[in-house]
Structure 1
Amino acid sequence: MSVPAHPRVTDVIETPVAAPARPRHRADIEGLRAVAAVLIAVYHIWFGTVSGGVDVFLLLTGFLITGSLVRAMERDGRIAFGAFWTKLVKRLFPAGAVVLGAVLVMTYLFFPRSQWMTVIDDVRAAVLYYGNWHLAAGSVDYMADNSAASAAQHFWSLAVQGQFYLLWPVLITLAGLVAVRLGVRVRRVAFAAVGIVFVVSLAYSLWITAVEPVWAYFDTGARLWELALGGMLALVVHRVDLPGTLRMIAGWLGLAGLVSCGLVIGDSLPYPGFASLWPTVAALLVILAGAGEAANGRFSANRLLGVRPLTWLGGHAYTLFLWHWPVLIVYLELTERVRPSLTGGLMVLASSFAAALFTTRVIEGSVNRVTKRHRAPSWSLAAGVIFIVPVLAAGSLWAHSIDQDRRLRLELSSNPLAYPGAAVHLNPELAAGLPDLPIHPDTTTVARETIDQTRSCNAVVEDTEVVSCEFGDPGSDYTIAMVGSSHVRHWFQAMRTLADQHGWRLVTMTKNACQFSSEEQVYRGEVYTECTAWNADVMLELAELTPDAVFTLASLTDRKEDEHVPTGFVDRWRLLDGMGVDVIAIRDTPRFDFPVPECIDRNGRDECSSPKAESMAEVPPFKDLPNVPHNTRFLDLTDSLCEDGVCHGVIGNQLVYYDTDHLSYAFSRSLAVVMEPQLLEAVGQAVPKGEPTLVDAAMTLHESAHS
């Protein structure tokens, strides 16, 4: 007697009622896809702002997928998960992989080394459909200048859709199980389930957009309501049949609202949040206007959307979206522009159309021909994987090559005579005989390596409490606390080297974009309340720690205003004076108007300098500052960064900055030898007789090398 196989969940769902008739083909929806794709491209190319097109794509994805899944449940009593996902793989992976492969090639050919690892990481995240979380974690501002954007950055929205494709079949299946249990229609339970997702996600989107808009932009949870709204619409649209006049008004109002979305919203409102209701409601009106038996009247917007050119373009909307962004970014890189001219933008648009047409016809067409002959799901899966694997492999091999080069430079840099950094100023003979070697750190990895040195010991923008770490001798009788913004943080390697050398205890308390000051500060145009709270917490921490000295900034440099000493700085010094804590205030560093690593990659090390006067005062602004508390001592290492009024991007074969104004970890460490005399004088400590200093060790090494 044979035992029946254990039934799967998806096999036991029965349809409570007869399945509805298959919905009629909506040509206007293809046209709506075309409009959304063109709007995305146009607003990205010429305006650099939100267009609302991505929101329309998300809503349409929810509309089409939800309708398809629910009809499958009503028709078959189950969802064929394997067939569903493999069809998506066949539809999405080949074209996406071709574009991502092209991004890797274009990055190698046209972009500076300093951007290579960023693109490799973005491509890997895009291939594996977690690109939105990758960008959110990196706090990438999507509304920033395109010139600073990755050519694969736009794949974030496809990652959101990919995560939706994994979640939605499970949700609809569970809705079907509940429907069977309750004896009601699948469609009704599915609508309730999707409605719950809509309400929860929208509420979360409004909250997270107000609290952390950059994160919210990429957050799947903050976007899921747009897909759910499309899903709810799919489940009720067959019942909608608006009166003729109302249908006409809804269609044109929706289309006009969609086209004008980018002009009205632009960058003025946090996104998504309330602002994203504009394009989604506009698209909803268009879809409702096209529903019913009497839809697409002679002068309706839906009839316009259903014309042959727009429906043809709608068939290429996906590949146009894929190509427009990398083509734009390459154009901006080659022309060194922030925004294309009218002619340049038209060239970008035309090139994107040509690439999209080629990808659709040749790549997708070939895949479709193969899978039509071989209909098994495994062939659809293979068709996608065959394209994805080479892209992943190419990215991994390239990353490995970059790492090998980084290791070589690191090995070479272990010779202090070949890579002295700031110590080159100690001996003119050393500067004159400096060998011509690749700079260290590598421009490709310097930013990540520098930030990683203290990533876990630093408060990020949204933090209000102190994040601190301790280094050096925990039992030392002398403690220095490093307190302030990233311009305090980038002295960490120098200070740690000196703390280890002299047996001090070093405690770090730093926060992004937040000065150690009593004044209210501004971040990205808004009052930086997190910084105010952090400053208050710092004072409590210092009162408990009672360090011997606090190392912080003495001045602020800026290319838009003169170097100055904020009043809030002096207020903090006075408070510390009352606590019996010394202040070691170091002059701020120069600021360039270009990323130094990128400049070196493009123009060579000798062409990447900046006049000191563009960001720094001729005389330190604290030199004649009145009413300086008696506990405060000043350090000024500008002479180790600038020579004869010019600040250099490479000194002693070391890369000085990892961006426009932050010291690289290696050069910061090299500054310890020139900081040591000033710091020892500031803390009032004499080196015990016979104990070598860093300066002594460096001079001995230089003399032995030249003897």
Structure 2
Amino acid sequence: MDPSTPKPLVTRATSVTSATSVPDDARIKGGSGGFRPEIEGLRAVAVLLVAVYHIWLGRVSGGVDVFLMLTGFLITGSLVRSVEREGRVRFAAFWTRLARRLVPAAAVVLAATMAATYLVLPRSRWADVLDEVRAAALYHENWALARGAVDYLAREAAPSPVQHFWSLSIQGQFYLLWPVLVALAALAAARVRLPFRATVLGLVTAVFALSLSYSVSVTASDQAWAYFDTGARLWELALGAILALVVHRVRLPRGLRVFLGWFGLAALVSCGVLLSVSTLFPGYVALWPTGAAVLVILAGTTGSPHGADRLLTWRPLTDLGKLSYPLYLWHWPVLVCYLEVTGRSLASPLGGLGVLGASLVLAWLTHRLAEGGLDRFTRPAARRTPAWSIGIAAALIVPVLAVSLLWSDRIDRERAERAVEMAAPESYPGALAVADPALASVLADVPVRPDPADARQDLSWHHQEGCHVTLASEELVVCDSGPQDAERTIALVGASRAAHWYPAVHEAADARGWRLVSFTKSGCQFSTDTSYRDGVVFDECEVWKAAAMAELEELRPDAVLTSSTRATLNGERVHDGFLDMWAWLDGLGVEVLGLRDLPRLTYQGAECVESGPVDRCASPVSASQAETDPAAEADLPPNVTLMDLTDQVCPGGTCDAVVGNILVFWDHSHVTATYARTLAPAMEEALVEATGW
């Protein structure tokens, strides 16, 4: 054969494997018997991009998208050849072999991550990490993160050391779906006498088109959710499937293949630099890295000394490709622990090398011991049985699940015990100590409550009953308390930093016999301004605001209590839309009680207290609040009365993490429900003064 003649580019995996794991002999055979080691090099490039961008740049590279495409490429080829060889899909063999190959390494990393969580991470994060460990072990971490991505309060949390399992979860769900799809294609082809490969190609092309269309739509409307949505990512795997079915028919001149190889590699490496992957993907923009990887595969082994495959088949790179799966598993928890210990947001040049080096060592050990070492304990014949494969996977993953469940149960029991301690109000005066310095001086030496580990769950009845809706919801949930025939009705309306006042407002209203109606939504200011989130119109907020205005128009409360300013570390101001909304309420004959926004902190409340000492957990009011209330200087409608309780939360011009033995802020801007309840007397006094009722 003429060396310049392109060789067939059929790829044959020696075993079914994840795109981030490798075949037993680390070789991918071509249809003519040649090898395709450049795919191993492509894996290495992808995992290096993922690790380097995470460690030093704090960005997303597009490397994960390459892994998804390669998964579709390899798995589809394996399944199709299996059907052609045996006439059917051997479901049990397929799934158990995957479990044997993928679960041991994942179980080892998850177990180690739980140990590191206990040793390194603050207790306030333990419960969430354990929940995500179980989600990762059961391959639905992507959905756990999708729910968190649209939860404004969850968005404030530090990254989980297992959040990178989201892509492996999508792959796991793909492994369940794809054999069924191929089997259905085989059945359909036999029934209607169509070529099997053509039937599979038609089916996966339809999946590609539907998923890509959905992905473009949902990414435009809710990118945070779409990023983790299996349906919005499935087209990337289907693209690899299409390539697996047509690549052997592609005949390209060697010169063009040399160009495509380098162009694809350059496009892949530059993707994360030129695009904001984390805010744009997975819509059509994700065609950039996946398309780049397709070009590299189409280029194949060129035989040219100037081809990209010369680099991709370089022995150190292909050896790294063998470690791509365990390296991907290890790099993120190692990085999260390093950042927690050092207090950094990005790794230093030297520290990053340490993270990468440690990850490589752990990946090599995992590859040697967890991925292959267990086979030494059984006879060769037993290793090939489904029972052995599933037994090994279960023996490793079940203890991980059991430990995480037992640990979570212990956390819940301890949390319940701490709640009982709060029944001693004399030891936990909270804001009452601000009004009574003598009380502050004789406080008992008791632990801070709520415990930092419980802080994120320290929410009011308003939150627990769903009155406060998440980012993704557009539903208006109206909660009503107090006498229906009360002489006065107050409506609490706004975003999350209006909602955190609810316990104080509720107790004040209850003491006065007022009716309290409340409805709030995360990230949605009660303003006539169009709301934006991640650069696009926040449609859920716009729908919610329209419903809120309709409710107020029908309800006609005596007063609406809402935020009068927005305080951020960039300053404090009054939105024009606030003033317009207040003027609209004036037209309804409704009074407005404008409550000044609390300062935003320079620290995370619960985590700072836990890491101690508490004295360092302090932030000046001036870091985010203006010297004078901006609302007081605005041209206010006549129905507006301003209120300011900053001194009750941040006495003396400083926002301390703990006041009167109670944790004030659970994150950098939201007050715990426990502290808010101690604000009830101050809130009642302020409301009476503002309204004259």
Give the TM-score taking structure 1 as reference length. 0.89
Cα deviation 1:251-306 (Å, max 9, x = unaligned): 22112211222122245861111221011111111111117xxx444432224322
Please, which of 412, 431, 438 is the counterpart of residue 447 of structure 2? 438
Cα deviation 1:517-538 (Å, max 9, x = unaligned): 2334443445545544543432
C-alpha change, 1:452 and 1:193, in structure 2 (3 Å) is farther
Amino acid at match of 1:230: G
C-alpha contact (below 8 Å) 2:460/2:503 kept by paired residues: no
SS at structure 2 position matched to 1:78: coil
SS at structure 1 position matched to 2:264: helix
Q: Which stretch of structure 1 is more off in the superposition, 95-104 or 495-504?
A: 495-504
1:408 equivalent in alignment to 2:412: no
Q: Which stretch of structure 1 is more off in the superposition, 307-316 or 273-282?
A: 307-316
Using the alignment, how far apart are the partners of 2:296 and 2:461 within structure 1?
49
1:141 deviates by 10
C-alpha change, 1:586 and 1:140, in structure 2 (3 Å) is closer
Q: Which stretch of structure 1 is more off in the superposition, 259-268 or 276-285?
A: 259-268
1:301 equivalent in alignment to 2:308: yes
Please, which of 351, 355, 370 is the counterpart of residue 348 of structure 1? 355
C-alpha contact (below 8 Å) 2:267/2:289 kept by paired residues: yes
Please, which of 623, 629, 632 is the counterpart of residue 620 of structure 1? 629
SS at structure 1 position matched to 2:452: coil
1:366 is aligned to 373
Using the alignment, how far apart are the partners of 2:186 and 2:305 within structure 1?
40
C-alpha contact (below 8 Å) 1:147/1:332 kept by paired residues: no
1:448 is aligned to 457
1:649 equivalent in alignment to 2:657: yes
Please, which of 196, 211, 228 is the counterpart of residue 238 of structure 2? 228
1:634 equivalent in alignment to 2:642: yes
Please, which of 284, 287, 292 is the counterpart of residue 282 of structure 1? 292
C-alpha contact (below 8 Å) 1:488/1:510 kept by paired residues: yes
Using the alignment, how far apart are the partners of 1:669 and 1:390 within structure 2?
42
Amino acid at match of 1:653: N
Using the alignment, how far apart are the partners of 1:146 and 1:92 within structure 2?
32
Using the alignment, how far apart are the partners of 2:289 and 2:151 within structure 1?
21
1:100 deviates by 1.0
SS at structure 2 position matched to 1:598: helix
C-alpha change, 1:619 and 1:252, in structure 2 (3 Å) is closer
SS at structure 2 position matched to 1:435: coil
1:683 is aligned to 691
2:130 is aligned to 120
Using the alignment, how far apart are the partners of 1:58 and 1:524 within structure 2?
25
1:26 equivalent in alignment to 2:33: no
1:517 is aligned to 527
1:627 deviates by 4.8
C-alpha change, 1:165 and 1:609, in structure 2 (3 Å) is same
Amino acid at match of 1:472: G
Amino acid at match of 2:354: M
Using the alignment, how far apart are the partners of 1:568 and 1:621 within structure 2?
14
1:423 is aligned to 432
1:207 equivalent in alignment to 2:207: no
1:645 deviates by 1.9
2:670 is aligned to 662
C-alpha change, 1:253 and 1:396, in structure 2 (3 Å) is same
Please, which of 164, 182, 185 is the counterpart of residue 175 of structure 1? 185
1:256 equivalent in alignment to 2:266: yes
Amino acid at match of 2:389: S
Please, which of 550, 553, 556 is the counterpart of residue 566 of structure 2? 556
Using the alignment, how far apart are the partners of 1:67 and 1:508 within structure 2?
56
SS at structure 2 position matched to 1:218: coil
Amino acid at match of 1:312: D
Q: Which stretch of structure 1 is more off in the superposition, 583-592 or 67-76?
A: 583-592
1:134-145 residue pairs with structure 2 within 5 A?
134-139=144-149
C-alpha change, 1:325 and 1:626, in structure 2 (3 Å) is closer
1:245 is aligned to 255
2:9 is aligned to none
Cα deviation 1:50-104 (Å, max 9, x = unaligned): 2121111111111111111111111111111111111111111111111111111
Using the alignment, how far apart are the partners of 1:622 and 1:232 within structure 2?
60
Q: Which stretch of structure 1 is more off in the superposition, 300-309 or 247-256?
A: 300-309
1:3 is aligned to none
Cα deviation 1:435-483 (Å, max 9, x = unaligned): 1222222222322342785162234334455332222333434221111
1:383 is aligned to 392
Using the alignment, how far apart are the partners of 1:566 and 1:639 within structure 2?
23
Using the alignment, how far apart are the partners of 1:169 and 1:187 within structure 2?
14
Using the alignment, how far apart are the partners of 1:486 and 1:93 within structure 2?
40
C-alpha change, 1:160 and 1:296, in structure 2 (3 Å) is farther
SS at structure 2 position matched to 1:138: helix
1:46 deviates by 1.5
1:219 deviates by 0.7
1:311 is aligned to 318
Using the alignment, how far apart are the partners of 2:155 and 2:411 within structure 1?
27
1:504 deviates by 2.5
1:24 deviates by 4.9
1:451-530 residue pairs with structure 2 within 5 A?
453-454=462-463, 456-464=466-474, 466-526=476-536, 528=538, 530=540
C-alpha contact (below 8 Å) 2:156/2:667 kept by paired residues: no
C-alpha change, 1:627 and 1:178, in structure 2 (3 Å) is closer
Using the alignment, how far apart are the partners of 2:573 and 2:288 within structure 1?
44
Cα deviation 1:107-163 (Å, max 9, x = unaligned): 111112222222111111101100000000111799x99993111110000000000
Using the alignment, how far apart are the partners of 1:52 and 1:355 within structure 2?
24
Cα deviation 1:409-432 (Å, max 9, x = unaligned): 210101111112212234333222
C-alpha change, 1:616 and 1:298, in structure 2 (3 Å) is closer
Using the alignment, how far apart are the partners of 2:345 and 2:636 within structure 1?
44
C-alpha change, 1:108 and 1:452, in structure 2 (3 Å) is farther
Using the alignment, how far apart are the partners of 1:223 and 1:621 within structure 2?
46
C-alpha change, 1:560 and 1:93, in structure 2 (3 Å) is same
Please, which of 119, 139, 142 is the counterpart of residue 132 of structure 1? 142
Using the alignment, how far apart are the partners of 2:386 and 2:319 within structure 1?
28
C-alpha contact (below 8 Å) 2:460/2:502 kept by paired residues: no
C-alpha contact (below 8 Å) 1:585/1:635 kept by paired residues: yes
Task: State the identity as a percent.
Answer: 50
C-alpha change, 1:528 and 1:472, in structure 2 (3 Å) is same
C-alpha change, 1:447 and 1:141, in structure 2 (3 Å) is closer
2:281 is aligned to 271
1:160 is aligned to 170
SS at structure 1 position matched to 2:114: helix
C-alpha contact (below 8 Å) 1:195/1:228 kept by paired residues: yes
Using the alignment, how far apart are the partners of 1:458 and 1:300 within structure 2?
58
SS at structure 2 position matched to 1:557: strand
Please, which of 395, 399, 407 is the counterpart of residue 404 of structure 2? 395
Using the alignment, how far apart are the partners of 2:87 and 2:531 within structure 1?
60
